[in-house]
Amino acid sequence: MPNFLENIFAQLKRAEGRVVLREIRGEQFVSLTGGELLDQVQRVRGYLRRSGLQPGDRCALLAANSVRWAAFDVALMAEGAIVVPLYSRQAPAELAAMMKDCQPRFLFVGDAAFGEGIAQAWPEALPRVLFEDALQQPASPGLVPNTPNPRGDSDLVTIIYTSGTSGEPKGVCLNVGNITHMISCATERLDQLMGETHEPDRVFHYLPFNFAASWIVLLTYLTRESVLTLSTDLNRLTDEIRLASPHYFLNVPTLLERVRRGVEEALSKRPAMIRSLFEKARDAWQRLHVGRGRALDALWLAIGRKVIFGKIKERFGGHLRTLICGSAPLSPETQQFFLTLGIPVLQGYGLTETTGICTLDDPRLPVEPGCVGTAISGIEMKISENEEIVVRGPHIFPGYWNRPEETARVLQDGWFHTGDQGEVNVRGNWRISGRIKNLIILNSGHNIAPEPVEEKIARLLPAVQQVVVVGNGRGYLCALVTGRVERAGVQAALDAVNPELPHYRQIRNFTVIPEGFTIENGLLTVNGKLRRSAINARYASEINAMYDVKGVREAASGTLA
């Protein structure tokens, strides 16, 4: 069976005269046909050969998403190099630490400023090459074959550095077999979604290619008959999505939550008649969805979709079939919100170590809000000790770069220990409940996963940016709440949530922090996850204050109970 690189080259040749990849520049598209993209790939391969690159050499790739990024990535893999994709928004010191770890031979950059930042953090850094400089080299038809170098399933293709929520990032190694299997699984789901459509997939993409799932879908698109449109300005996402008019695209929960809040805020300013229609249509859908429809529900839903829901859906263009979401749990309310609009959101779950994906909703079946779908083909998943999800199959990584002890800790008897807690229902749908390493152990011995409690509170506080539950080794739980929120509002949310929880999971005190946690202030990972250890260290005094005599007295008085 051909590997994924051979499939990409074959598809680009078939699409020689058809647009396969394009960038949005303002209101215009800058497009490449399959033949033009393949020409860029071959030019880069010629440059690599003249530069003396050898199979197995590591090469770092640092740039924002672009057509050229895709060309360099494919060219490096075709020449047998091990690609190290880096995040252009990450701090130069962190990027330098990753490169010191893997010692790449070249650093290819899309912008000279990226290379300069690395040089300041690592003066003895490796040679830097601008995308433009390599692409301006003459074509070398006699030097470069028309096919990728032969590669075995065990050959390493990439080292992707994980975001490091509690410690230094680790380099996850992925091989040809991992990626070939994962692309076949992703293709299976997309075939189920598109059905008998006889037109190329229209796809939009804004997530950085250095993330495993984002990169896997890029490679999948390149093996399919697709037209992939790349975002070039995150500040214009709404306009870009409308221009691209995609059938589907990959998302993170942050964007979908933002869309929902924006719509709800806009509706709150509309006339009472419109607000009432929205609420009646929404409530009608929810009753019909669970088989408890009333006499006029179908009518209210039809009117709501024509007057309100359809206009919201039009913002995504005229071709949208579904949204795909991963990287973190999406709130059931937001998933239901999009279902009400007539837009199913397919959820997926996976880690870099699992080549990006373990589960994904089947687009032929009704989605189950709060779940992340069923296991993809060819893999096994089960619950181990402490409700930990363990996985095995051809998508499991061979190990971390230069970290044999870490590899041995997570790979045991052929099973990869994800560190995630979860459960699976009778329909085979998985639900993720939290991270084992995030467990809070009170001095009473109670073990508490903070994520479900945080999610409950955040749902009631639309203006909140983050909720972080703390209390490890303490007698009760407290919370840090970020954003422009009033204490009275937070208290009201706790008064609503606490009675639903057992006493040891109730939040007894809280502190409001106006400044949100961000990548730039070092309190979020590059894909938006909380750096809990860094947060606990940064706000140690605020946390301690919640547990001092005054805090204990307030909690005991019932003010915060």
Residue from 397, 2, 336, 327 nearest 173 by CA: 397
Q: Is the pLDDT of residue 478 over 90?
A: yes
Residue ranges with strand state E in 231-301: 248-251
3-class secondary structure for 60-100?
A: EEECCCCHHHHHHHHHHHHCCCEEEEECCCCCHHHHHHHHH
Q: Is the pLDDT of residue 552 over 70?
A: no
| CA 497 to chain CA mean position, Å | 28
Write down the pLDDT at residue 174.
98
- Of 138-142, 214-218, 358-362, which range is least confident? 138-142
Looking at the chain, the whole-number percentage of residues with pLDDT higher than 70 is 96
Per-residue model confidence as pLDDT tens digits over 294-304? 989 999 999 99
For 95-108, what is the mean pLDDT?
93
Identity at 226, one-letter amino acid code: S
Write down the pLDDT at residue 559.
37
Write down the pLDDT at residue 125.
65
For 134-144, what is the mean pLDDT?
83
Q: Is the pLDDT of residue 290 over 90?
A: no
Looking at the chain, the whole-number percentage of residues with pLDDT higher than 90 is 67
Q: Is the pLDDT of residue 122 over 90?
A: no
Write down the pLDDT at residue 550.
45
| CA 209 to chain CA mean position, Å | 10
For 239-256, what is the mean pLDDT?
93
Write down the pLDDT at residue 554.
45
Q: Which H or E element spans position 128? A: strand 128-130
pTM: 0.85
- Of 61-75, 383-397, 459-473, which range is least confident? 459-473
For 135-139, what is the mean pLDDT?
83
Write down the pLDDT at residue 556.
44
Write down the pLDDT at residue 433.
84
Alpha helices, DSSP H only, in 341-433? 404-410
Residue ranges with strand state E in 388-504: 388-392, 399-400, 411-412, 415-424, 430-435, 440-441, 447-448, 466-470, 477-482
Write down the pLDDT at residue 113.
87
For 7-36, what is the mean pLDDT?
96
User: 138 vs 486, which has greater pLDDT?
Assistant: 486
Q: Is the pLDDT of residue 560 over 60?
A: no
Report whether 304 contacts 282 (CB < 8 A). Answer: yes
For 136-164, what is the mean pLDDT?
88
Q: Is the pLDDT of residue 527 over 90?
A: no
Q: Tell me the sheet residues that pair with 495.
A: none
N residues, the chain: 561
Write down the pLDDT at residue 487.
94
Identity at 199, one-letter amino acid code: E
Report whether 65 contacts 55 (CB < 8 A). Answer: no
For 369-381, what is the mean pLDDT?
94
Per-residue model confidence as pLDDT tens digits over 427-440? 999 999 888 888 88
Write down the pLDDT at residue 163.
66
What's the angle, vertex CA 137, arms to CA 136 and CA 139, rounded to 5? 115
Output the average pLDDT for the chain.
90
Q: Is the pLDDT of residue 551 over 90?
A: no
CA distance between the termini of the chain: 62
Q: Is the pLDDT of residue 181 over 80?
A: yes
Write down the pLDDT at residue 403.
95
Q: Tell me the sheet residues that pair with 511.
A: 480
Task: Give SS3 for 268.
Answer: helix
In the chain the domains, ranked by start, together with CATH numbers, are: 4-247 (3.40.50.12780), 253-318+322-436 (3.40.50.12780), 439-557 (3.30.300.30)
